[in-house]
Structure 1
Amino acid sequence: MREYSVPVLVDVPLSANCTDTVFQRAVDEPGAVSIRRKVGEDWVAVTAAEFRDTVAGVAKGLIAAGVEPGDRIALMSRTRYEWTVADYAIWAAGGVGVPIYETSSADQVKWIISDSGAKAAFVETAAHEDTVREAAPDLPLVWNIDGGALESLIESGASVSDETLTERRTGQSGHDLATIIYTSGTTGMPKGCRITHDNLLFTARNVAFGPLESMFTVDDRAALLFLPLAHSFARMVEIVLLETGTVLAHTPNMKNVAPDLQGFKPTFLLGVPRVFEKVYNAAEQKATAEGKGKIFHAAANVAIEYSKAEATGGAGLGLRLKHTAFDKLVYTKLRAATGGKLTAAVSGGSALGERLGNFFRGVGIEVFEGWGLTETSAPSTVNIPGANKVGTVGKPFPGVTIGIAEDGEILVKGRHIFDGYWNNERATAEVIDSDGWFHTGDVGELDKDGYLKITGRKKEILVTAAGKNVAPAPLEDSIRAHRLISQVMVVGDDKPFIGALVTLDPEALAQVTLTDEELRAEVQSAIDNANRMVSKAEQIKKFVILENDITEETGHLTPSLKVKRNLVMRDFAKQIDELYGS
């Protein structure tokens, strides 16, 4: 088995817990800005001392309400300031946070609350409260954030002494459970991942003060979070930002991202490939609408060429001159759309694609791909400044070992590996072997320098009727990068050839006027481009464009935008049959 390890950089003491830095920074740098929260159109500073005081006040309220060490507290909300306050207050009171996506159905909420044994829940809105009360009518405590729950908790907790809070907060160590994060569940019911304080702190400090340190040591460092904090990726970044003293801001949904980027002016951004695809597509559509499509495409090609050249010895004079010219005409406008200060971003969740990675690096916003799972406390590998190999998900971060099994499955070891599945020791035994390796289910390759490339999911490998093994993910990622395409799912298990279900992006379609024949030609061009990456037997021979998009709201995507393949296969069986003429 091929392995690659990176030594531990920060040896986090097992006595530490996730609240330590927040409370200590309030003593060391009370006036430093920890968070900026949006009030109306203004970004209002929250100092380290103010944030600590709010967290402490809410934590005292939880203690007064009867929360005991180890009690599970659900948290159902969009990404916002109060989410982070509640998250840290639960920890300060000795509790265990159980995040729930704010888009979850009553059945999903019922499962998570009942399986975790949650004693209480924070909700954001009246609608969320209705969902929780329908799902768990016997839940004794439900605190509504929009209804003033945090303020009420602070008031009711005034009788709890500082000494009681300190005893409760410091009673937690690295071994203690910090959170139960339920996997998105592309198949079956979600499983709860037991994540300890040590899992989170070991990961956060070794990433933040190791490979990505330069992102969090620049002047006026600031980051805007808009991905759901219920997802382990965003949650880890929240912790990293507070551990490093990087100013944190929240925006509740994708619709607010563009204006909030310009208003907040972050230096760092966290996203998933679909976010960066949309940024590129929006810029392309705007340029085309203004009659500048040819200029944009020429600028994009130069950015990609320049990025590739810089990674392999440096661009020549002619290319540098072109790049400088397009920087004034195009790239500065793209950077201005992100606030003008953004230079770095981290992408995870699925493959970004080399073209898009090189494009953004060429325009001056370097996107560093990383990889991991909820079971690995989010990241296991990440590309780093000065050694960003586009097309890979980077090397292991300090303290992590990556192994590639004989069948290509990626195995992981390290202190960031979760403590097992909640109430499901059988499932835990299936993924953690006797040697301590976590079996990820992803398939990949390690190059000679220790960079990991993801090539597919072990359970999603398609086997055609001719016996050819086909990994759908690379094909899907490539096709989805097209400006008009929203989602794609490659099919062909036990079929004579590989096919694809495609949906179109409603926002992108609104910007163009194309006949059905022209739309099919656009999709075919995207498929032709993807087919160039694979052998003839793996190429997509036929496709069908579905009438409507598949989304989280339709039940076909997880909150982290992964396709629920089994449900798509079930709900679009007729279209698949037509694809194969049956």
Structure 2
Amino acid sequence: MSDTQSQIEPRPPSVAALFLERIEATPESEAYRYPVPPASGSGPDEWKSYTWTQAADRVFAVAAGLMDLGIEPEQRVAIMSNTRVDWILADLGVMCAGAATTTIYPGTNAEESAYILADSESRVLVAEDTAQLAKAREKRAELPDLAHVVVIDAAGEPVTDPADPEDWALTLDELMTRGRGYLQKHPDAVTETVRALRSDQLATLIYTSGTTGKPKGVRLPHDNWSYMGKAIAAQGLVEPEDVQYLWLPLAHVFGKVLTTGGVEVGHVTAVDGRIDKIIENLPVVQPTYMAAVPRIFEKVYNGVASKAKAAGGAKYKIFLWAAEVAREYAKVTQDNHRRTGTASAPTGLKVKHAIADKLVYAKLRDAFGGRLRACISGSAALAPDIGYFFAGAGIHILEGYGLTESSAASFCNPGEGYRTGTVGKPLPGCEVRIAEDGEVLLRGPGIMQGYHGLPEKTEEVLEPDGWFHTGDIGELSDDGFLRITDRKKDMFKTSGGKYVAPTEIEGRFKAVCPYVSTILVHGADRNYCTALIALDEIALMGWAEEHGLKGRSYADVVASPEVRELVGGYVERLNENLQRWQTIKQFRVLPRDLDVEHGELTPSLKLKRPVVEREFGHLLEEMYAGAREK
């Protein structure tokens, strides 16, 4: 048995058990930081902390409060809230009560929220505020299983309905008060429940945000999370001294697994899900690591590039030079590390890199707080050129890979010797093989039990011997690094019989065009490829001011011939490095950016291709009008 494997086997049956171990090991160490907005409503937030003991006090009160409400092991308790420290403590409370957390994105509408609550048979809903409470009230008649709604932050508003003597709502403080009273009568209730947990009991029910049809509930037992905590620690990427900045949606498996790693490793986690506060928070929190989705890194890169371009002349030339030096430096050092084990570079390149560091890279690192050792990127593919840029600038983006069905983390790049463009090696305990058609198959302790109430759907992806079909196409290097080339269902064949991987082309375009927000490459059963391109409003409007379009609206700017010419130039640059059948023959600039609200992106910012193709089908047909289809 290898050293890393021995750290995973044997393991406690649950994260709740890991949590008890953490409280005992480092009771007075800082566990979580959270922002408190100023009472005046203006000025910077004040950051406060919980030690592990203080966190445990709240977690146990939540757990006992749920027991007092009659919640029994494996019954579902839903959480519908933005990312905040209360989400993490509520989730730990649910698991310490022996129950299972159903996660719901706070942006989910009332109808789909009701579907998830009903399908999961959730008995309690933990709602962030009265707006989330209102969704449940609207659909109350359709939710016979839902007995209580717990409101985290009522902002001084009443949560009970005075017209309803049997109202089901209470505040989180009221739940914890009930829990503390319950613990006075039954002081060992929580610890005894945790000790009685079995590894195969349901811990989490996460609904996938599918592109078509109703979302499916993925059943993840306690052992999945216990394994993940141990595997993350064994990977060695995070340490007890680390400070993690956590803003990702906790309703998504990527955010959820980060909370598990924090419990096992015992580092500090600063929690704030407000995306508009990221730039403000980073210099305050000064994280040593954080996780993000590729869209965030693309936005940072595009913002830096457009700011340099707006400065004009020499500054933009310096940025372009520094960007190319960064990419060259990253490629050379990574290649040398792969061949020799040392990330070395020739003297001339080192000198250029040192100059670029003083002029450009150091300022970029300062914007991330100045202490960032590594970023974890997942959920979608990161364009390699953007990855190389950040790597050369000293912001190391370690791509990882996993799915909801594999508890998020199956692969991750090592801290030393990581390879941009790959998702790294499997975590300890995870097996991988590539099927004949190129599909990535996974097996191990992180794989789900199945889809909730959908045995036929489970059988489609999960073989009797435990191999899970990911639906992703990939390639394994001789030394075990995985590269994902595309989603199996997203790849298409042109009418000329050529296969096209749209994600690869889309990633390349994001690397060459600093103004793009989202791009969709289309061409299934067509005789050439086309693209729908949405532009980033902030970056584009900065360009517009410098090019005679100042004062015009975003909609006017994107419809202008100047922007079409601008984007056309980048499409030509893209086509220069593509095979003939991959090239974009026509494109259309969309009148607005794609977003979650219109259902075109998932909450984790993945593109919903069928939705976009349906919404803008008239533009696609326009690009093929008169073309001879084969």
Question: Which letter maps to 2:286?
Answer: K
Question: Which letter maps to 1:154?
Answer: M
Q: Note if 1:181 corresponds to 2:178.
A: no
Q: Note if 1:384 corresponds to 2:414.
A: yes
TM-score (norm 1): 0.95
C-alpha separation in 2, matches of 1:109 and 1:374: 19
- The range that moved more, 355-364 or 415-424, is 355-364
Alignment match, 1:67: 71
Aligned-residue offset at 1:10: 2.6
Q: What are the residue-to-residue correspondences of 1:419-458 with 2, within 5 Å?
A: 419-458=449-488
Q: What are the residue-to-residue correspondences of 1:493-532 with 2, within 5 Å?
A: 493-513=524-544, 514=547, 516-532=560-576
Question: Which letter maps to 2:345?
Answer: A
Alignment match, 1:240: 261
Alignment match, 1:561: 605
Aligned-residue offset at 1:325: 1.6
C-alpha distance after superposition, 1:89-140 (max 9, x if no partner): 0001111001101111112111111111111101112111111222344432
Question: Which letter maps to 1:293?
Answer: Y
Report if the CA contact (8 A) 1:227-1:253 is conserved: no
Aligned counterpart in structure 2 of residue 492 of structure 1, from 517, 523, 546: 523
CA separation of 1:320 and 1:15: change in aligned 2, threshold 3 A: closer
Alignment match, 1:150: 172
Aligned counterpart in structure 2 of residue 266 of structure 1, from 287, 291, 314: 287
Name stretches of at least 5 consecutive residues in structure 1 with no aligned partner: none
Report if the CA contact (8 A) 2:238-2:265 is conserved: no
Name stretches of at least 5 consecutive residues in structure 2 with no aligned partner: 38-44, 156-170, 337-343, 550-559
Q: Note if 1:309 corresponds to 2:332.
A: yes
CA separation of 1:526 and 1:398: change in aligned 2, threshold 3 A: farther
Aligned counterpart in structure 1 of residue 321 of structure 2, from 284, 298, 303: 298
Count residues in correspondence. Answer: 574
Report if the CA contact (8 A) 2:225-2:407 is conserved: yes
Report if the CA contact (8 A) 1:8-1:400 is conserved: no
Aligned-residue offset at 1:159: 2.5
Report if the CA contact (8 A) 1:37-1:249 is conserved: yes
Higher RCO, 1 vs 2 (CA within 8 Å, ≥6 residues apart): 1
C-alpha distance after superposition, 1:554-575 (max 9, x if no partner): 1111111122222222221211
1:8 match: secondary structure:
helix
Q: Give the 4+ runs in structure 1 shifted more than 4 A.
A: none
- The range that moved more, 473-482 or 489-498, is 473-482
CA separation of 1:350 and 1:527: change in aligned 2, threshold 3 A: farther
1:162 match: secondary structure:
coil
- The range that moved more, 15-24 or 373-382, is 15-24
- The range that moved more, 78-87 or 492-501, is 492-501
Q: What are the residue-to-residue correspondences of 1:23-62 with 2, within 5 Å?
A: 23-40=20-37, 41-62=45-66
C-alpha separation in 1, matches of 2:304 and 2:3: 39
Aligned counterpart in structure 1 of residue 489 of structure 2, from 459, 478, 487: 459
Report if the CA contact (8 A) 2:231-2:427 is conserved: yes
CA separation of 1:51 and 1:426: change in aligned 2, threshold 3 A: same
C-alpha separation in 2, matches of 1:191 and 1:12: 31
Aligned counterpart in structure 2 of residue 141 of structure 1, from 130, 148, 157: 148
Alignment match, 2:96: 92
C-alpha separation in 2, matches of 1:136 and 1:532: 57
2:192 match: secondary structure:
helix
Report if the CA contact (8 A) 1:215-1:344 is conserved: no
- The range that moved more, 113-122 or 509-518, is 509-518
Aligned-residue offset at 1:415: 1.1
Alignment match, 1:400: 430
Report if the CA contact (8 A) 2:374-2:397 is conserved: yes
Q: Find the structure with the greater CA-based Rg.
A: 2
Q: What are the residue-to-residue correspondences of 1:291-370 with 2, within 5 Å?
A: 291=312, 292-313=315-336, 314-370=344-400
- The range that moved more, 424-433 or 238-247, is 238-247
2:431 match: secondary structure:
strand
Aligned-residue offset at 1:15: 4.6
Alignment match, 2:116: 112
- The range that moved more, 232-241 or 296-305, is 296-305
Identity of aligned residues (%): 39
2:28 match: secondary structure:
coil
C-alpha separation in 2, matches of 1:196 and 1:447: 32
Question: Which letter maps to 1:144?
Answer: V
Question: Which letter maps to 1:312?
Answer: D
C-alpha separation in 1, matches of 2:379 and 2:529: 24
Report if the CA contact (8 A) 1:9-1:398 is conserved: no
1:165 match: secondary structure:
helix
2:15 match: secondary structure:
coil
